[in-house]
Amino acid sequence: MPTARPIAPSANAPGRLPIFLPMTMTSKQRFLAALERRKPDRLPVTTHHVMQYFLDKYEDGISAQEFFQHYGLDPITWHVLHKPAPGGGDYYDPLQGEPGFLEAHRISSPQWRIEPEEIPGGAYKTVRYRFVTPKGILTMVTQSNAQTTWVSEHLVKNKRDIDLIGAYVTAPCCDVEATNQVVEQYGERGLVRSHIPCFDVYGQPGTWQDACCLYPTEQLILETYDDPAWVHEFLRILHRRKKTYIRSMAGARIDLVELGGGSASSTVISPKLFDEFVAPYDTELIALAHQAGQRIVYHTCGGMMPILEKIADMKPDAMETFTPAGMGGDVILAEAKRRIGDRVCIVGGFDQFHSLIDCPPEATRAAVRHCFQAAGEGGGFILSPSDHFFDADPKLLQAYADEGRQCVYAA
């Protein structure tokens, strides 16, 4: 079993960032070793997305990169850089403004325009989006609070609404040159992550998961029994758009690209539905990504244990989030490592709800050691909270980071 052993403590001074003695690998090298299922010098310890709500509430609005430096975590930076397809008359959406969380610059065309309208007077920020096409208009409504955004009116209201999407939706391409400039500037600091395009305004990287953002999940599940041909038609439309983007990624030096989403977890759909409506589409996307020289991490927040091997069979390079039961998932980390740890890198597994809030630092440290002992054997493990968090005690975050850095692999 892997063991944790002390390394030199940080030298902290009031008002100054902590200083850590160098390890034998840079953070980037450490991440890549784990993704290749090799043993790094020590356990890579990081987070998923660093939420702006947390940074504003607990960290005086520092940037995500300052957050990683402050706590001594292995840094990650997220970039999803789109550009219009060449020669087709597409252009950047002039009405979008600054892209929000998980968004990229949207791509418009004369046949596909998105017109936002803020609706005042509600308890939450509410925006109606009109998707304007030559043969009709689709609408979607989102609402937001300080923490997150959700869909309150789905885009697809009638089954044949997907015809407008299929005929007119734009397909963004990867801006390879801009992406590689980001990678070059980030250097050895850490991991450059990205994701397969979500649908405009609101979506998910995976094909089924994207559809669940556009059509109510419960109704989509029912349609897999009542009208499976329509569901497959819908998925093929979304799938085609994602394939266009993936093919354009050749030459982009991204370290890790996310696919998937929570709507395909076993706490939402059955393994049977996963086999028919998820795996065929996302398996092809993963193969295309590999052909384009990209590593894929398959993201599943929620239940995973009944479909662990099914996800691994799609041949991603890594899987996340390995959410424990206390967070609404079902993962037993040691069993997951035993079953698929020789096939993929495992990312996540840490219970941020119970171990970063309202507990002593010793409990946080014990939770880190438990994860390392459960999944660290032989490498191929990146410690991370199971998905992002909004609230956390800074003292416990520091204990998490400090203990993670003490999880060292023997030479």
CA distance 320 to 322: 6
- What's the Cα-to-Cα distance from 358 to each of 201, 214, 354, 355, rounded to whole Å? 35, 37, 7, 8
pLDDT at 6 exceeding the cut of 60: no
Identify the H or E element spanning 117.
strand 113-119
Question: At residue 347, does pLDDT exceed 80?
Answer: yes
- Give CA 91 to chain center in angstroms: 26
Q: In angstroms, rounded to a whole number, what is the distance separating the alpha carbons of residues 348 and 375?
A: 10
H-run or E-run covering 140: strand 136-144
Residue partners of 222: CB distance under 8 A and separation at least 6: none
Domains annotated for the chain, with CATH where assigned, are 27-80+172-405 (3.20.20.210)
Instruction: Give the model's confidence band at 16: pLDDT under 50 very low, under 70 low, under 90 confident, else very high.
Output: very low
Mean of the pLDDT values across residues 125-130? 97
Confidence of residue 346 (pLDDT cuts 50, 70, 90): very high
Structure tokens at 81: 């850089």
Residue 126 sits at φ, ψ, to 5 deg, of: -125, 130
Tell me the C-alpha distance between 39 and 45, whole Å. 14
Strands 149-153 and 136-144: antiparallel
Nearest to 273 by CA among 319, 315, 325, 218: 218
Mean pLDDT estimate for the chain? 93
Question: 216-266: per-residue pLDDT in tens?
Answer: 999 999 999 999 999 999 999 999 999 999 999 999 999 999 999 999 999
State pTM to two decimals: 0.92
Query: How much of the chain exceeds pLDDT 90, in percent?
Result: 90
Q: How far, in Å, are 63, 67, 137, 169, 224 from residue 50 at the CA level?
A: 9, 8, 35, 31, 35
Cβ(173)–Cβ(85) under 8 Å? yes
User: Would the pLDDT of 293 be above 90?
Assistant: yes
User: Per-residue confidence at 24, pLDDT binned at 50, 70, 90?
Assistant: confident
Q: pLDDT above 70 covers what percent of the chain? A: 94
Residue type, 362: E
Ramachandran category for residue 200: left, alpha or beta (phi over 0 → left; psi -120 to 50 → alpha): beta
Average the pLDDT over 365-383 and give the result: 97
- Region 9-29: mean pLDDT is 53
pLDDT of residue 121: 92
Residue 320 pLDDT greater than 90, yes or no: yes
* Arithmetic mean of pLDDT, 359-385: 97
- pLDDT band of 23, cuts 50, 70, 90: low
Q: Per residue in 158-178, is it b (16+ CB within 10 Å) or e — as a string?
A: eeebbebbeebbbbbbbbbee
Residue 9 clears pLDDT 70, i.e. is over it = no
